[in-house]
Structure 1
Amino acid sequence: MHVPDGFIDAPVSVAAGAVAAGAVAVSLRGARRELDERTAPLAGLVAAFIFAVQMLNFPVAAGTSGHLLGGALAAILVGPYTGVLCISVVLLMQGILFADGGLTALGVNITVMGVVTVLVSYGIFRGLVKALPRGRRTVTIASFVAALVSVPAAACAFTAIYAVGGTTDVPVGKVLTAMAGVHVLIGIGEAVITMLTVGAVVAVRPDLVHGARGLAAPLKLRVGGALVDAPAAHPAPVAARPPRAIWATGLVTALVLAGFVSFYASASPDGLEKVAADKGIDKKAEEHASKDSPLADYGVRDIADPRVSGGLAGVIGVGVTVVAGTGIFWSVRRRQTKDAGPAHVPDAV
């Protein structure tokens, strides 16, 4: 659902940019409370993983494909504030290096694909985990539903922006019907990917999943024939060092997906591209400012073999995203530690 340049007029693009900038600023402050020594490097990995999976377009209807948006996945794994930052990093790398998503439309894309998906999905997720019995199964079920709803919500958000600042004269009702219809189907794929990924991490290290914290069911003891809650035990200390095995496994997976599996992705236009072509929204689309990038369209210039070109571009994209994301999240974490200051030690009496 990467909105290109020319779909939305300049004033609305600027307004969306201001909304996106405000959301990123708020998220930078909020992420300080979500990140620690273990989760900061994982947040960079989440961004790289989302970049890789977004290269895997899957067919959803005749001549139409979809791809992961990632807002729900990021919010559940590393928290809503950090999730907005993850998607923003991915969109920035895609726009600058790969000419995917317009640069003047960057604010629109962050607002639609980052802010809206995170807010909607995490709100639904938290509501479900509070209403359902506590446990790992609840986390996976809630992640499925949250991701499923977040995609058509993003499609509706784009339609609302188009209604205000669209550059073509297409009835909004037709745009909404087409966008919502195809993105409900895409949402099913998003939900499956999100559920499987969250479930895999929860099964191995539930303590690393932001949305799974505090969801363990309390231990019950039978006393006098009745079940009562066992006394709360003091939690065992958790190692401060990053979970290297999880990080390495995730990075290798992202590299394989982007460098090899992406070659077999659907070549059909995604939901927005298909709707734009069918309804005429793309009549005033503009060439991307980064169209001459050596990595434009997810291929490496001057490499003729499409498999090698696309795979190498994917590997470069994962590498750049994980480095940029990890650097940003470590900086946010260090700023939080610096602001907290050293612990106060009372004077000896």
Structure 2
Amino acid sequence: MHVPDGFINAPVSVAAGVAAAAAVAVSLRGARRELDERTAPLAGLVAAFIFAVQMLNFPVAAGTSGHLLGGALAAILVGPYTGVLCVSVVLLMQGILFADGGLTALGVNITVMGVVTVVTAHLLFRGLLRVLPPTRRSVTAAGFVAALLSVPAAAAAFTAVYAVGGTTDVPLGKVLAAMVGVHVLIGIGEALITAATVGAVIAVRPDLVHGACGLATPLKLRVDGALVDAPAAPVPAAAGGSTKKVWVTGLVTALVLAGFVSFYASANPDGLEKVAADKGIDEKVEEHAAAGSPLADYGVKDVDDARLSGGLAGVIGVGVTVVAGTGIFWAVRRRKSGELTAASASAPVA
């Protein structure tokens, strides 16, 4: 659903850019509460994983494909504020390095693909957990539903932006019906990928899943006829220790997906591209400013072998995204630590 340059006029693109910048600023502050020494590097890995899976377009209808948006997955794994930052990092890397998603439309893409999907998924996910049993299966099921509905919500949000700033005169009712219709199908793929990934992580390290925090019910003991909380059991090393194994496994998975599996992705246009071509939204599309990038269109320039070119581009993309993402999240975490240290130092001594 990457919006290219030319779909949305300049004033609305600027307004969306301001809104996206504000959302990122708020998320930077909020992420300080979500990140710690263990989750900061994992947040960078989540961004790289989303980048990799977005390369895997899957068929959803005749001549149409879809790909993961990632907002729901990021919100559940690392929290909503950090989730917005994860998707924003991915979109920034894609726009600058791979000419995917217009640079003037970057604000639109962050708002629609990042903010709308994360907020929608987070609210649905938390709402469902309030009524479902506090179990790991509930987290996975709630993640499935949240991811499923976040995608058509993003499609509706794009239509709303297009209604205000679209550069072509197209009946909005037809655009909305087409966008939501195809993205409901894409949402099914999003839901399956999200549920599978969350289920896999929660099975081995539930302590690393933000959406699973607080699920453990304290053990009760009956003492002299009254129920009291049992003493907390020690946390096994495998459950609360180093995140190195999870990080390495996740990175290798992302590299394999982007470097090898992506070659077998569907070549059909994605939902937005198909609707734009069918409804005439793309009449004024502009060439991407980074069209001459050595990695444009997810291929390495001057590498003739398509499999090798796409695989190298995918590996480079994962590497750049994980480095950029991890650097940003570590900086956010270090700033939080610095603020806590300064507050401790300035506190009066009793």
Query: Shorter-chain TM-score: what band?
Result: over 0.9
- Return the offset for 1:341: 1.3
**C-alpha offsets along residues 242-295 of structure 1, whole Å, 9 cap, x if unaligned?**
500000000000000000000000000000000000000000000000000000
Aligned length, in residue pairs: 348
Query: Over residues 164-189 of structure 1, what are the superposed CA-to-partner deviations in whole Å (9 max), with x where a residue is unaligned?
Result: 00000001100000000000000000
Pair 1:126 & 2:126 matched: yes
Give, in angstroms, the shift of residue 337 of structure 1. 0.5
Deviation at 1:131, TM superposition (A): 1.1
**Alpha-carbon displacement from aligned partner over 1:87-140 (angstroms, at most 9, x marks no partner):** 000000000000000000000000000000000000000111111110100100
Alignment partner, residue 247 of structure 1? 247
- Residues 36 and 97 of structure 1: CA distance in aligned 2, closer, same or farther (over 3 Å): same
1:308 aligned onto 2:304: no
The aligned residue for residue 83 of structure 2 is 83
| Mapped partners of 1:89, 1:233: distance in 2 | 39
The corresponding residue for 1:28 is: 28
Secondary structure of residue in 2 paired with 1:60: strand
Amino acid at match of 2:121: S
Q: TM-score, normalised by structure 1?
A: 0.95
TM-score, length of structure 2 as denominator length: 0.95
Q: Which position in structure 2 is the counterpart of 1:113?
A: 113
Q: 1:6 & 1:168 partners in 2: Cα distance?
A: 10
Q: What code does the residue aligned with 2:267 have?
A: A
When structure 1 is superposed on structure 2, of 247-256 and 230-239 the one drifting more is: 230-239
Matched AA of 2:232:
A
C-alpha contact 2:78 2:210 (8 A) present in aligned 1: yes
Q: Structure 1 residues 173, 346: CA separation in 2 closer, same or farther (over 3 Å shift)?
A: closer
Q: Deviations over 1:324-345 (max 9, x none)?
A: 0000000000000011116459
2:263 matches 1:263: yes
Q: Is the 8 A contact 1:64 1:270 kept in 2?
A: yes
Residue 165 of structure 2 is aligned to residue 188 of structure 1:
no
Q: Which residue of 1 aligns with 2:99?
A: 99
Say whether residues 1:198 and 2:198 are aligned partners: yes
Task: Give the Cα–Cα distance (whole angstroms) in 1 for the partners of residues 40 and 219 of structure 2.
Answer: 31
3-state secondary structure, aligned to 1:59: strand
Q: Does 1:208 align with 2:220?
A: no
Instruction: Report the alpha carbon displacement of residue 217 of structure 1 after superposing the two structures with TM.
Output: 3.0
Taking structure 1 as reference, are residues 346 and 64 closer, same or farther at Cα in structure 2, changes over 3 Å only?
A: closer
1:280-295 paired onto structure 2 within 5 Å: 280-295=280-295
- Alignment partners' CA distance in 2, 1:213 and 1:262: 33
Partner Cα distance (1:330, 1:241) in 2: 19
Q: Which amino acid aligns with 2:197?
A: T
Taking structure 1 as reference, are residues 115 and 347 closer, same or farther at Cα in structure 2, changes over 3 Å only? Answer: closer
CA RMSD of aligned residues (A): 2.2
1:233 aligns to 2:232 (yes or no): yes
Ranges in structure 1 where 5+ consecutive residues have no aligned partner: none
Structure 1's 312 and 348: CA in aligned 2 closer, same or farther, altered over 3 A? Answer: closer
Equivalent position amino acid for 1:270 in 2:
D
